[in-house]
Structures are given as structure tokens and as C-alpha cells.
Amino acid sequence: MSDNDDFRAKLLLVLGNRAKLYCEFCEIVGLWKEGLGVRCCHRQPLDPQPEDIQREDRFRRRNAPFFDFGTPENPDSGNNSRLNPRLRDDDRFREQAREVENGNERLGRLFGIKGESVLALLDSILFPWSFPPDYMHLILLGLLRKLHKILKGQAFGHQGAVDELELLLLDDEIWAIIGTDQKGSSASYPTDFGEAFNIDKVWSGMKAANWYSWAIQQVLIYLHAELRTADEYEFLKKVVFAVELASRRSLSWEEVDQLEILLRDVVDYVELNVYRCMDERLSICKPTFHQCRQHVVHGIRMCGPMPVYWQMNMEQKIGSLGMDTYHRYR
Ligand SMILES: [Zn+2]
């Protein structure tokens, strides 16, 4: 059973991805930022703001989950085991949910759990792994769209400011040229390749199938000569290989290990080269990157290749229901 973050949060009765404990798969703690909410960085900012340090310390003194800034000598102290957070398992998840259900709401904030899901009545449910990450939402509509936002220079929202060191950034004119070329090729675009589209015009509303086509068939060709450094292109190759491996219905254990390394490399590259551990860039640290880095492969090891439980088939059925009803009653 799998779906998008909000739906899964309701099903599992967890606080969801806007809580300090934003992840149902592990006990990582996010950093609360004024105006942004919880940020999901694995590496703390190197220029932490005094108000953030004080706020997190207030959380600590209230015995609430807090983001441990550690010390300059040991930035990975305390709950900053963010690169290897404690995973939740079925026993612990059920026990914590029961404690919250028994009336201790304060513990809910500490555990990131709202209460006991009705599904806890079923012994066959394995919390949280009966709800593994979804390929369509997390990889296609999540990771690829967020990376594209970075490539468009729109990743930092109102905090603005890309600078001269920026990697993974292409000018608007380049996107316009790519879009025009895609449009010009639409008449000869093979149907088997999927639907033709103009990424420059439609990227913010692109469907999962379009993102898959973009990643597997087009991005490495269109961006081959457009990025500033060879490393950026190597990064894109890792993204494409990861998307392709994650889409397979059959994987060897070696390929699963390979996917784990690829996804870690991809997210670490974004953290080190785009977020750059700068406070003003924390806005790009979303749960999507955390789930890709930490939990996609764990989900595959627990439940099998992602297409076995992806949401695509269910959404296609839901999409066709309106048409079925239309024809039946017309
Ligand atoms: Zn996690």
C-alpha cells in the first residue's frame, strides 16, 4: 500500500512531513525555520542563525524533539545522526502509537505519531513498511520535479539569489530552445515513446509519464553540452540511472546496492553543491530528498521493486472512472 505523503500520514496517523519528526520511516529530527516550517537537511548549516540555535534549545529544554547543532568540533553529535538515523520498526511504532492513544499527547510530538491507526488491528500490517515509498510520487513527481526546479533557478523561492558559483543552473533561453525543439519534433516523436511535450511550457504541471520520458530519453541528450562542469553531467547520469533502476520490475541484490549508492550520491551532491550547507539555502531541503537518500532502497529490500506497489495503476483506474461513468449514463 503506498501513496503520497499526506495520504500515508492519514493512514498511519503520523504527524506528517511538516512535523519535527517528519519521517514515518525513521526518527530523524528536522530544523524549524521561521517562515519555512521544518527543513529536512542531513547536514546542518555551517552558518546557523542565533535565533534558530536558541529556538532548538528551547525545544530541547521542553523535552520536545530538537535539531542538535552539535559543536563546531563535532557537528555530528546528539540527534545529528542525520546521515544514519534510527529506523522505526513495527514493534516500536505500535508501542509508541499505543502510548499516544492512551492519552499522552506530548509523546505524540516526541514520536511524530498522532495515535493508533485503525490498521493496527491487523497483525499482518508491518508499520511503517506496509506503506513503502511510492515511485510515481517520490521519484517521478518528487525528485525529478525538484531537480528541475533547481535547474530552472527557482529552487530558493522568495529567498532568491542564485550566485556565480551556482551549479545545475541553465538560463531561461536554453530551456526555451529545448522546448521549441521538443515541439518541433512532436510530429515525428514515436508513440511508443509516450506523449510529446514542451518542458519549457509545462514542467510545473507535467505528468509522471512525461517526467519518465524526460529522464530516460531526453535529459542527457539535451543537457549534454549545456552544463558548466563535467561533474554536473556525471550527476545527471546518476539521476537517470537511478530513475531507470528504480523503475525495473526485477532487480538483483547487486542492482539494489547500486541504486542505494546512486541515490545517496545524488542527494549528497545536491546538499553539498546546491544547498551548500548555507542557512539561506535551507528551503531546498525537502522530505523528498531525505526519503530518496534513506528509504527507497530500504523499501525495496522490504517489499520488492517499486513498480510492484507503485500508485500508477490505481491512479490510472481512478482517472478512467469519470469516463466510464460518463459513457454509462449518457
Ligand atoms: Zn527517514
Quote the ligand 1 centre to 163 CA distance (angstroms): 31
H or E segment at 107? helix 105-111
Mean pLDDT of the 95-115 span: 87
Quote the ligand 1 centre to 302 CA distance (angstroms): 15
154 vs 161, residue with greater confidence: 154
Q: What is the pLDDT of residue 304?
A: 96
Q: Can you count the helices (H) and strands (E) in the chain?
A: 14, 2
Q: How many C-beta atoms surround the C-beta of residue 278 within 10 A?
A: 11
Q: What is the pLDDT of residues 253-275, one digit of tens each?
A: 999 999 999 999 999 999 999 99
H or E segment at 32? strand 31-33
This prediction's pTM: 0.90
Quote the ligand 1 centre to 110 CA distance (angstroms): 15
Q: What is the pLDDT of residues 12-42, one digit of tens each?
A: 899 888 889 999 999 999 999 998 899 999 9
Quote the ligand 1 centre to 266 CA distance (angstroms): 16
Confidence of residue 74 (pLDDT cuts 50, 70, 90): low
How far apart are the C-alpha atoms of 131 and 2, rounded to whole Å? 5
Quote the ligand 1 centre to 186 CA distance (angstroms): 41
Quote the ligand 1 centre to 138 CA distance (angstroms): 13
Quote the ligand 1 centre to 103 CA distance (angstroms): 26
Quote the ligand 1 centre to 305 CA distance (angstroms): 19
Q: What is the pLDDT of residue 1?
A: 46
Mean pLDDT of the 299-324 span: 81
Quote the ligand 1 centre to 231 CA distance (angstroms): 28
Quote the ligand 1 centre to 145 CA distance (angstroms): 20
Q: What is the pLDDT of residue 208?
A: 93
* Inter-CA distances, 296 with 108, 135, 319, Å: 25, 9, 26
Quote the ligand 1 centre to 294 CA distance (angstroms): 6
285 in helix, strand or coil? coil
pLDDT at 104 over 80: no
Mean pLDDT of the 115-131 span: 92
Calculate the average pLDDT of the chain. 89
Quote the ligand 1 centre to 324 CA distance (angstroms): 39
Phi, psi of 191 (to 5 degrees): -60, -35
Quote the ligand 1 centre to 43 CA distance (angstroms): 14
Quote the ligand 1 centre to 58 CA distance (angstroms): 23
Quote the ligand 1 centre to 125 CA distance (angstroms): 19
191 in helix, strand or coil? helix
Quote the ligand 1 centre to 250 CA distance (angstroms): 25
Give percent above pLDDT 70 in the chain.
90
Quote the ligand 1 centre to 168 CA distance (angstroms): 26
